Amino acid sequence: MQNAGDPSEWERDMTLDHVIQSGTFKNVGFSLRNGQSNTDTGRDVDQSRFIINYAIALL
């Protein structure tokens, strides 16, 4: 149980990743990231990001 003067805070982070294994788009990766942060002080933050990446062999 919290005291009335103690602010509470929580955060949740999730990531979902996938890399295509074969075909025309082999090695193309996708990431979906979501983060949520809430506090009693009103500083609530929600973010969602979609990232596409591709690895290139340089050597």
Residues in the chain: 59
What's the pLDDT score for residue 4? 61
What's the pLDDT score for residue 6? 67
pLDDT tens profile 2-57: 556 666 888 999 999 999 999 999 999 999 999 999 988 878 899 999 999 998 88
What's the pLDDT score for residue 5? 65
DSSP per-residue string spanning 30-50: EEEEEEEEEETTS--EEEEEE
What's the pLDDT score for residue 44? 87
- Domain range annotation of the chain: 9-54
